[in-house]
Structure 1
């Protein structure tokens, strides 16, 4: 939370205008926020669907994901069997794979995305013709 406050302070350029501790409360405890983020990253569930499971509003889940994702990314990715090794960039992943003789594969799973409705300006830029 301190890292996030520092980032926001840099972006704003001044101290908070709201009192410390003010603002919306976290209705999801930290562990629930981490689990919600991991479920969304792994299964691509809509935030609204996950909000129904937790009994909170969609915006609460969205805020939780925005808070937790940078924390997960900053920690890097652990390598099974060597917990002291953390891969933080894509270059680290490729270097480790080359050194360990590991074959990397790309997950080409198609992910459905929202597109503008038919007969709307700019729709052509979003629709490739595949699976209209």
Structure 2
């Protein structure tokens, strides 16, 4: 089982309409997005893991402030059609989303590929402030004394931004259909390898899925823009 898991984890992630191409690193993902004009959607996900024994160093690092339990965190990247392009940066659950991606070199990739754009949630506010033209985060909440119209505009802008990046949530949902990623009962040291093995299988299935069809509203807007 360990040998098969290792083989699956090292395969890389499938690319839509490119059977012979696999994405292994974050640099591969950004190079593909630049070549194909793909907008990326980035988000983190957590899976419950076994809690380290009392007194062991690093025990608190796995306690997630969001879920209030011991978790492992993984970053997922998809395209606009909810097809998995990359999954990695496995870190203890207490770590912030943007902090988990820093060692992977996301800032360097954004500098090297200024044409690539990404949609993120509030957990990636740092990269959004550093690269405002590339990384789109939810708008900041107005102050309590702000006019009512400004608050309504903020809610609508936040809703549109959330709707634009909902595809990566669907991608994470496909991964969470696998029971080991809902609650991992194995050794924490093997979680990253297990997650990568499952993610490659999810990417293979997603790569064969056709591109999302545009809704009637999108078709009307596209026609009006062309006219």
- Same-fold status (TM-score > 0.5): no
- Relative to the length of structure 1, the TM-score reads 0.39
Q: Which has the higher contact order (CA 8 A, sep 6+)?
A: 2
